[in-house]
Amino acid sequence: MQKQFIDYFTDQLYEINKKLKPDGPLKIKPKAKKYLLNCLENGNPVNILTQCCMTKYLEVRKIKQNGILTPVKSEIKLWKNSIPEIINLFKNYGFSLNWIFAFTRSDSDRTRANDETENEFKKMYKELSKNIFDILLLDWEDEFLNKRILPAKEILDNFNKYVKPTAFEMELKRRYEKTLETIISEETIDQKAIEQDVREKISIIANEGKIITEELFPDGLIIIPTEEPERFDFCRILVPDFKENLICILKTSPWRLES
C-alpha cells in the first residue's frame, strides 16, 4: 500500500519535471523511490540537497545589471513559487524535510566569482527566501563542509583509466565556452591551464559525489539540482548509482539573465 502511495507521489514530481523538460523528462529512479519509502515508513525527514554554483558569470551579470545584482524573473519564481510548491507537495504527502540549499564555488580559482559578488548573491537569495522556513541556505565550503573538497588523487594519477577521452573533450569544450562567456576584459586564454582545470574539476566532482553519499548523507538523500543532470556524470566515477538520487523539478540555471 505504501509503495503505491510513493508511486503516486513520485508521479506528481514527474509531472513537474515534464513541464520543465517536455521533450526529455527524466523518470524518478527506483533508488530515490526506495529512499522516500524508507523515510515514510520510519518517520525520518527527507534529506534534500540543492547546490547553486557561484561562478565568474555572476560578475558579468552584475556589470550588465549596472553594478548591482537584482533578481531576474526566474529567480523570483524559484523562491516565490517553485520551492514553496515543492515543500507543500512533500508536506501534503506526510513528509518532513531536511532541505539544504548550498552555495558552492567553482572548482577553479580562475572561474570563481570574487568575494564581493558572492556575498551580494547570497544576500539576494536569502532575502528572496526569508519567508520560507523549511529550507536552510548555507555556504557549502564555509558553513556546511568546513573545508574545500580536493581532487580525488587516484583519479588524477590514473586519469585515462577513469575518464574516457570523449567525456574529457566534451567537458573541455564546455569549460572553454564558459571561459569565453565570463571574460570581462582582454585576457589571454591559456589552453593548457584550462585542460588542467578540467582534469582537476572532474576529480573534484568525483570526490564530492563520494563525500556526499558516504560521509554527509550515509542514510540517503534526494538531490534536486539547479543544473543540468549531466553536471553529475562524473560523480558516477566513484559512486556508479549517484545520479539515481536526482529528482529534477527546478528550473535549470535560474540565475542566468536569459532564463
In angstroms, rounded to a whole number, what is the distance separating the alpha carbons of residues 195 and 247?
A: 31
Q: Is residue 200 part of a domain?
A: no
Burial class (CB in 10 A: 0-12, 13-18, 19+), 103: buried
Per-residue pLDDT of 35-94, as tens digits, reads 999 999 999 999 999 999 999 999 999 999 999 999 999 999 999 999 999 999 999 999
Nearest CA among 212, 243, 249 for reference residue 229: 243
Could you write out the three-class secondary structure of 129-158?
CCCCCCEEEEEHHHHHHCCCCCCCHHHHHC
At residue 21, the pLDDT reads 82
Task: For residues 1-28, give the mean pLDDT.
Answer: 87
User: Cell 548509482 appears where?
Assistant: 241
**In the chain, pLDDT over 90 holds for what percent of residues?**
80
Amino acid at 255: W
At residue 26, the pLDDT reads 83
At residue 181, the pLDDT reads 65
In angstroms, rounded to a whole number, what is the distance separating the alpha carbons of residues 102 and 89?
A: 21
Task: For residues 118-146, give the mean pLDDT.
Answer: 96
Per-residue pLDDT of 209-227, as tens digits, reads 999 999 999 999 999 999 9
Element (H, E) at 51: strand 46-54
Averaged confidence pLDDT in the chain: 92
At residue 182, the pLDDT reads 65
Per-residue pLDDT of 145-173, as tens digits, reads 999 999 999 999 999 999 999 999 999 88
Q: Is residue 169 part of a domain?
A: no
At residue 242, the pLDDT reads 97
**Sequence-ordered alpha helix ranges (H) in the chain:** 2-20, 30-42, 57-64, 73-77, 83-92, 115-128, 153-157, 159-162, 165-181, 191-211
Q: Is residue 179 part of a domain?
A: no
Residue 131 has pLDDT above 50, yes or no: yes
CA distances from 222 to 50, 116, 150, 233 (A): 9, 31, 23, 16
At residue 51, the pLDDT reads 97
At residue 175, the pLDDT reads 81
Sign of CA dihedral 240, 45, 218, 53: positive
Q: Is residue 172 part of a domain?
A: no
Q: Is residue 80 part of a domain?
A: yes
Number of residues in the chain? 259
* Residues pairing with 99 in the sheet: 48, 135
Q: Is residue 175 part of a domain?
A: no
Whether residue 200 contacts residue 210, with contact meaning beta carbons closer than 8 Å, is answered with: no
Task: For residues 179-189, give the mean pLDDT.
Answer: 60
Q: Is residue 38 part of a domain?
A: yes
Domain that holds residue 239: 2-149+219-245
Q: Is residue 85 part of a domain?
A: yes
At residue 186, the pLDDT reads 47
At residue 129, the pLDDT reads 97
Burial class (CB in 10 A: 0-12, 13-18, 19+), 180: exposed
At residue 183, the pLDDT reads 60
Structural domain total, the chain: 1
Calculate the dihedral angle through the C-alpha atoms of 109, 112, 113, 114, rounding to the nearest 10 degrees.
-10
The helix-helix angle for 165-181 and 191-211 (nearest 10°) equals 110
The pLDDT-based confidence of 177 (bands split at 50, 70, 90) is confident
